Structure 1
Amino acid sequence: MLTTQAVKADRKLLWLGTGVLLGLILWFMPTPAGLTVAGQHALAVVIFTVFLWVSGAVPTSVGSLMMIGIVLCLMPNEVPATKFLSFWTQDTMWFVLVSFIFSVVIQKSGLGNRLAIYVFSLRNLLVIDIALLVLNALFSVVGMAASFPKLVLLMPLVVSMAALSGMPKEDPYVRHVALMINVLANQTGLLVYSGFVLNPALGPLGGFQLDYTKWLQWFFPPALVYTLISFVVLYLLFRPARGANGFDVKVIEEKRRELGPLSRKEQKAIVWLVVAVVLWATGGMTGIPAGFAAVLVAAMLMLPGIGVVNFKEFVQATDWNTVFMLMGVLSIGALGATGFAKWLWGHILPSQLPGNPMVALVLISFLVELLHIPLGSLGTTQALAVPSLAAYGPTVGMSSELLSIVAYMSIVGQFFFVYQNAALVAGQGFGLWKPKDILKFGAAMFVVTPLVMGVVLLPWWLHMGWIR
């Protein structure tokens, strides 16, 4: 009798074989009209990789390495290695590679725990929610570029506060706070360049230059509006009944007394995080890309005496699966130059968009939402949607920057199912909310998101001159 582990292994082998067969069929079939041979081969490799990612046949990192190896060995003339791997000479990959150290600093120094306890010491639920919004935004600003570390800092405190207050995990108040943390950990990542690991990839995929300063100038205002609207929707959908009991105030006050004054480690963490933010924010003036500045600060954070963490702690905290998946995402962007992405989206988008830009943007956002459902991966959907839409934009009187950010916010901000977002997968493990809660929120945002992109934010798009 087969064990559960053996059944899972057999299923993965079946998915892997199916992916290989699908890739071979696409590679050797007659070239479709309007697609070059190079584009056909690129399409075959990408569909094979996406299938591996979505089916779970192999970890996303392994799928990325498979794709890179296939292209380098079988398509050297169609996609030269110097162009295919050019992302290593840009600051994007370097930023992601070292971004995890900033999460380690906030956690290991105790600074994150101190900030979280101060937030929970507030009495009013709405004030706590607003403080959680600000705290998650602050974490994004100082380089906590993944949602999971935010959850690791905040979710255990919710569990602890609930237990010490005699509240079950199923309590509506506990569920409300947990959902607010989980969603905001994700949404606030859109606010700044350093807020999410996939943010730095947006420029290379969209074909335009992007840095910390440009993100603040171009994308922070619309991202803030979208985050605040998401915040309001979440608050109203899961607001506890009037008069519901919150966390025990005495317990929280005791937690605050245990903190004591700022430790030496916390003080050093604050100094280095400020240095990093200043370098990122002034990159437009100094000419130092954010990723390269992050490498320099990361090295200093590990120096004896003046540092906060050691190299082993940094390596252990690094999500290597995310690092290698991002390599795959950026590689798909490079493969888009073969024309397969434009050809693919030519069959998804209508032959002619509505002349009204408001209606056109609503439609585009809606189509991206639909694409995200079966793919179930932020990185995969970003890699497939952004390059094509960025190239498509100028042909319909919209800039590459506009359609890139509309597609990206529609991917990051809307989800029906837990599998669509790694932060939700991690957050579900704490047992403070149910998948049906995400479905409820996602159903609301499925309607809200396109309206925000095409209606609410239209004045900003016009102000930026991104619509002709």
Structure 2
Amino acid sequence: MSEQVQSGGFIANWGSNIRDSGRSPGKCACGFIAAWIAFFLILWVMPTPEGLSTAGKATLAVMVWACLMWITEAIPVGVSGMLIPMLLVMTGAIDKFPKAASGFSTPVVFLCLAAFIFAAVMQAAGLDRRIALGMLHKLKVRTVNGVIWAMFGANLLLSLIIPAANARAATLLPVVNGITNMFGDTPEERAGKKAIVIQTLVYGSMISGMCIMTAHLPNLVIVGLLDTELALHLSYIDWFKLQWPYLGMFVITQWWMQRYFKTHGVGVHGGYEAVQRQYAEQPKTSQAEWLILVVFGVIALLWVTESWHGIKSHNAALMGLAVLFMPGMFGFKWKELQDRTIWGTFLLLAGALSMSSAMGSTGLAQWLSDIIHPLATGHPWWMVLLILMAGTHVIRLGMLSNVAAITMLAPILLALAPKLGLHPVAFTMLVSDTDTFAYILPTQITAAVIAYSSGTFSMADYAKVGWVSVLIAIAYGICVMAPWYAFMGIPVWDPTAPWPFQ
């Protein structure tokens, strides 16, 4: 009897611990068990498929394990990222640990970590919030649509200093809440709040992140993959040249948002007053804040002019950190910055890059591309893109992490492109980019989960406006971005086009 009580107490405590962490005990338990069962079944029971090496099968076991852990959030994503190299070595997929952990030593990872620490410094100083409120104050917006456009400008500015869409959404959440809390409860005002929150915190954060290489972690996964697999380097400014037309997609989604929620002409005078009050409550910009801005401005300039001076983006970022942490530059304790640095996401990115490398080196990506190939073969390039983009959105219905999804998809796309007679870089980027615009469920994007926490919209609201936004994203990729890539020298339909960025 006492053993039953102890057992029940343990189980109750176990479930309580999981709930306290913000997760579902049932989902976590099922995901954890399913991940390990799938791992051992693939590794020990499943025969090695024809055309796949033993190392490739072991990598497949690790990939399925990681995907199930990511989908169900059974363990923290940072921990899963650290475990990937160990599992690759223990299963025999990779023979040496340094090679299995190659993602932890790539230039992209150091650039990401430096950007995270820069963002932590900005947040500790309050510069991120100051920038957002300053823009809203200067623009003096008084309508729902005016707020949305002003916040998109704030998103663009913050994308230069905050290297993750979810972090930008979290930064802007209190500002947006301050505006929407001043609204009334008329149907028009409720619709206006929904439009502001969804378009600003979700669509604005994701679309602005497409243009700045360091502003969206899947960008870094793709850059790292192209560098390691094809020895092709994309600089900070090269990425911007390729991706800036995505800004036009915000115009279309804003048109659709305005049409769906009927926000044309809806005023937000109370919201404007909230912005003015929050702006006035801020202290005067300190000398330390100005110094931080100057240092970051120099680093941003080095990133933009990389092709002139030859200093790689990661080295420029680390040089900036060396200057920023000279004694006396600011009064923060390291713990304040440490607590604001997104270590879990950093470890996930490093593990994801290690996984992508293993998928390529063991032949798993090639084997998976052979499976997908029959579905897309025999169609014109635009139909191939349509099929793969639509398939990507189906896969993304069950995945929260953009990084996890791109880790799985990008190596397969890169291997699939030659089989379909398409340009590997253009094809991989176009299909991978559509993954960012997973707008059907709030649970598909961390930024959407943050937006949903505001309580201004329902799941149904989000899905009804989101499925059209997904169609807009697919059409935009095929009709706008593919021709733009061709203009820039990497036509998706010509695999022999020379690399234009030297």
TM-score norm. by structure 2 comes to 0.84
Indicate conservation of the 8 Å contact 1:213/1:282, yes or no: yes
Q: Which amino acid in structure 1 is aligned with residue 69 of structure 2?
A: L
SS of residue paired to 2:163: coil
Q: Distance in 2 between matches of 1:248 and 1:32?
A: 60
Q: Which residue of 2 is the match for residue 437 of structure 1?
A: 461
Q: Structure 1: state its 5+ residue gaps.
A: none
Whether the aligned pair in 1 keeps the contact of 2:221 and 2:407 (CA below 8 Å) is no
Residue 359 to residue 317, structure 1, CA distance change in 2 (3 Å):
same
For residue 63 of structure 1, what is the aligned residue in structure 2? 80
After superposition, residues 176-325 of structure 1 pair within 5 angstroms as 176-183=195-202, 184-206=204-226, 207=229, 208-221=232-245, 223-240=246-263, 242-259=265-282, 261-307=284-330, 309-325=332-348
Of 53, 78, 86 in structure 1, the residue corresponding to residue 102 of structure 2 is 86
- Once the two structures are TM-superposed, the CA of residue 271 in structure 1 deviates from its matched residue by 0.8
| Aligned twin of 2:113 | 97
Between the aligned partners of 2:168 and 2:87, the Cα distance in structure 1 is 36
Are residue 152 (structure 1) and residue 163 (structure 2) matched? no
Equivalent residue number for residue 331 of structure 1: 354
| Aligned residue number for residue 5 of structure 1 | 16
Q: Deviations over 1:64-99 (max 9, x none)?
A: 2222212123327x4543433333442111122222
8 Å contact from structure 1 (residues 369, 411) kept in 2: yes
Q: Which runs of 5+ in 2 are unaligned?
A: 1-7, 19-23, 495-502
Higher deviation after alignment, 339-348 or 313-322: 339-348
The 2-side partners of 1:62 and 1:229 are apart by 39
CA contact (8 A) 1:363 1:450 kept: no
Paired position in structure 2 for 1:113: 129
Q: 1:140 to 1:79 in 2, by over 3 A?
A: farther
**Percent of aligned positions with the same letter in both sequences?**
21
Q: Does 1:30 align with 2:47?
A: yes
Give the CA RMSD over aligned residues. Answer: 2.7
Q: Distance in 2 between matches of 1:11 and 1:89?
A: 33
Which deviations, in whole Å up to 9, do the C-alpha atoms of 1:241-268 show, x marking residues without a partner? 6445443544544444444653323322
* Cα contact 2:426–2:490 (8 A) shared by 1: no
Q: Secondary structure at the match of 1:433?
A: coil
Q: In the alignment, which of 1, 13, 16 is matched to residue 32 of structure 2?
A: 16
Deviation at 1:305, TM superposition (A): 2.6
- Residues 414 and 449, structure 1, Cα contact 8 Å, conserved in 2: no
Q: Counterpart of 1:36 in structure 2: which amino acid?
A: S
When structure 1 is superposed on structure 2, of 169-178 and 50-59 the one drifting more is 169-178
Measured after TM superposition, the shift of residue 450 of structure 1 is 2.1
Match of 2:65 among 21, 40, 48: 48
Match of 2:490 in 1: 465
**Is this contact kept in 1: 2:417–2:423, CA < 8 A?**
yes
- The Cα of 1:40 is off from its aligned counterpart by 0.9
Q: Which amino acid is the alignment partner of residue 71 of structure 1?
A: L
1:329-368 matches, within 5 Å, as: 329-337=352-360, 338-350=362-374, 352-368=376-392
Instruction: Kindly indicate whether residue 151 of structure 2 is the aligned counterpart of residue 132 of structure 1.
Output: yes
Distance in 2 separating the partners of 1:136 and 1:364: 29
1:161 aligned residue:
179
> Structure 1 68/243 Cα, relative in aligned 2: closer, same or farther at 3 Å?
closer
Question: 1:412 Cα shift?
Answer: 0.7
In structure 2, C-alpha distance between the alignment counterparts of 1:418 and 1:116, rounded to whole Å: 24
Change in Cα spacing, 1:54 to 1:316, as seen in structure 2 (3 Å) is same
In 2, Cα distance between the equivalents of 1:14 and 1:154? 34
1:422–1:79 Cα change, 3 Å: farther
Asked if structure 2 preserves the Cα contact closer than 8 Å seen for 1:145 and 1:195, the reply is yes
Relative to structure 1, the CA distance from residue 52 to residue 262 in structure 2 (aligned partners, 3 Å threshold; closer, same or farther) is closer
Q: Distance in 2 between matches of 1:154 and 1:51?
A: 31
